[in-house]
């Protein structure tokens, strides 16, 4: 296993990464991107075990509902790069189980790669969403065929791929890019049916970074995003060679969707777990700010908080149901239940804006207009800011202001915008979760229940 310092040094490998128009040669010490590196390095030190065959706790494959719950709870406390590494490992193992019958050699490659990744203690990120071009057309119908990552050359020892993947969290901070199809492919789209692992420093890989990290000089005013933030990568594959042993799918378009669906399961479980914690935080902020404002006993405030906590409870219940109803694969790995995972993720994403709306309504305009920390330290106005931001003898103005800063940072500033979009889009968007939920819902049982309720038992099994 690697230490945090070893991880930092491992990023100095010639990778081509760009930020705000400039190539970054020292990611670990960059004033903005380096924050994410430091967070990941702390994760390395947290899990470090010097034993020769040690495997990080977050990389272990769960084999029961109990172990799956332990993994989920663990991943609520890790940095995003560590989380997506675990999700990538589980995606690959899920896909291996599902393609075993038709492509046993490819399934064996996947398992061998996972074992090697665990041994090397590397971090990997997920490249799935293509640039897509004209969204109304299939991959093979695009004016520019490169709008979906595709194989442009085949050699005896591997393949060459070209294209781009968008919205890749922490792409520049990992070691490997798990590159898989974004959706199911048709018979004439074999060149787009490619799944493989690509080193971040492979020749031809270029990454453009964007971030919601605050640029204000005083990070105290951004108590959440000022301490932890993760860039999103625009990953370009400019004729990148991939050795054969790293290719998990090349052709077989009927299996392309397997990889996308496998990732969707683990990304949605991760999203559901994150929302369970985030929803509780929103409820907590709503209660705290209502108390600081002196409104916690007002009827409509209590009703809003009640609705928020009911939503938070349903999200937590969905997560629990997904874990308790897990399925054990032929490899002995525990996978969360598809229906509860997708239904819970959908409910959480669809109702996030409602939760934020209630919080903003309860908190009031000071979420945006509260003075900054530096204002409280000003000799001329600081004492007045503290006086008028207070509400009663027991509520200090600085305390209330810090609550407003946290609410703004989490829900109404750059990080808030990031949450608003990613809660919906992460794991495939609301439509994808509706499709999978319908696929796994027992509709026959529901129809039978309806017929029995109507005392129409004679129609059971006939309609």
Q: What is the average pLDDT value for the chain, to the nearest integer?
A: 94
Confidence of residue 133 (pLDDT cuts 50, 70, 90): very high
Q: What is the mean pLDDT of residues 443-450?
A: 94
Does the structure show a pLDDT above 80 at 357?
Answer: yes
Place of tokens 């100095």: 12
Give the Cα separation of 111 and 50 in Å (integer).
Answer: 24
Q: What is the pLDDT of residue 93?
A: 93
Domains of the chain in sequence order:
258-447 (1.20.140.10)
Helix ranges (H only) for 227-298 are: 256-293
Q: What is the pLDDT of residue 180?
A: 97
Burial class (CB in 10 A: 0-12, 13-18, 19+), 391: middle
pTM over 0.85: yes
Band of pLDDT at residue 194, cut at 50, 70 and 90? very high
pLDDT band at residue 159, thresholds of 50, 70 and 90? very high
pLDDT score for 168 = 95
364 pLDDT more than 90? yes
Report pLDDT for 424.
Answer: 87
Mean per-residue pLDDT for 285-310? Answer: 96
User: What is the tens place of the pLDDT at every residue in 89-127?
Assistant: 999 999 999 999 999 999 999 999 999 999 999 999 999
Q: Please check the confidence at residue 57 and state whether its pLDDT lies above 90.
A: no
CA separation for the pair 347, 340 (Å, rounded): 10
Over residues 234-273, the pLDDT tens digits come to: 999 999 999 999 999 999 999 999 999 999 899 899 999 9
Task: Tell me which of 266-270, 282-286, 329-333, 344-348 is least confident.
Answer: 329-333
pLDDT confidence tier of residue 321, bands split at 50, 70 and 90: very high
Decide if pLDDT at 331 tops 90.
no
Are the CB atoms for 256 and 183 separated by under 8 Å? yes
Taking the chain, what is the end-to-end CA distance rounded to the nearest angstrom? 58
Predicted pLDDT of residue 205? 98
Cα–Cα distance measured from residue 84 to residue 376, given in angstroms and rounded to the nearest whole number: 40
């Amino acid at each position: 296993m690697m230490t945090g310092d070893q991880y930092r040094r491992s990023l100095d490998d010639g990778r081509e990464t760009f930020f705000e128009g400039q190539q970054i040669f020292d990611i670990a010490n960059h004033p903005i991107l380096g924050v994410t590196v430091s967070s990941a390095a702390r994760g390395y030190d947290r899990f470090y075990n010097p034993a020769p065959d040690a495997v990080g706790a977050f990389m272990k494959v769960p084999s029961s509902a109990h172990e799956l719950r332990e993994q989920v709870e663990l991943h609520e406390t890790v940095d995003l790069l560590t989380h997506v590494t675990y999700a990538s490992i589980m995606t690959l193992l899920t896909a291996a189980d599902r393609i075993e019958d038709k492509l046993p050699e490819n399934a064996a490659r996947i398992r061998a790669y996972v074992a090697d990744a665990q041994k090397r203690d590397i971090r990997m990120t997920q490249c799935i969403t293509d640039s897509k071009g004209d969204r109304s057309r299939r991959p093979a119908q695009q004016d520019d065929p490169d709008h979906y990552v595709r194989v442009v050359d085949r050699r005896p020892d591997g393949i060459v791929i070209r294209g781009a993947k968008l919205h890749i969290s922490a792409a520049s901070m990992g070691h490997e890019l798990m590159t898989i199809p974004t959706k199911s492919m048709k018979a004439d789209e074999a060149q787009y049916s490619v799944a493989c692992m690509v080193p971040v420093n492979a020749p031809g890989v270029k990454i453009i970074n964007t971030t919601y990290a605050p640029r204000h000089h005083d990070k105290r005013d951004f108590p959440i995003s000022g301490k932890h933030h993760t860039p999103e990568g625009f990953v370009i594959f400019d004729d990148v060679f991939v050795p054969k042993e790293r290719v998990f799918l090349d052709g077989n378009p009927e299996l392309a969707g397997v990889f996308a669906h496998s990732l969707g399961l683990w990304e949605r479980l991760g999203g559901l777990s994150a929302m369970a914690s985030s929803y509780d935080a929103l409820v907590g902020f709503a209660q705290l700010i209502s108390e600081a404002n002196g409104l916690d006993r007002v009827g409509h405030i209590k009703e809003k908080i009640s609705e928020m906590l009911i939503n938070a409870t349903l999200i937590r219940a969905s997560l629990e149901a997904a874990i308790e109803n897990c399925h054990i694969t032929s490899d002995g790995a525990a996978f969360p239940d598809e229906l509860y995972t997708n239904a819970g993720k959908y409910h959480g994403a669809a109702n996030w804006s409602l939760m934020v709306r209630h919080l903003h309504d309860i908190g009031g305009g000071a979420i945006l207009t509260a003075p900054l920390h530096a204002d409280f330290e000003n000799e001329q106005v600081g004492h007045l800011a503290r006086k008028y931001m207070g509400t009663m003898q027991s509520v200090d103005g600085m305390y209330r202001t810090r609550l407003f800063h946290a609410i703004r940072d989490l829900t109404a500033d750059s990080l808030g915008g990031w949450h608003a979009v990613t809660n919906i889009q992460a794991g495939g968007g609301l439509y994808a979760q509706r499709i999978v939920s319908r696929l796994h819902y027992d509709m026959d049982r529901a129809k039978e229940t309806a017929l029995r309720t109507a005392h129409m038992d004679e129609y059971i099994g006939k309609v």
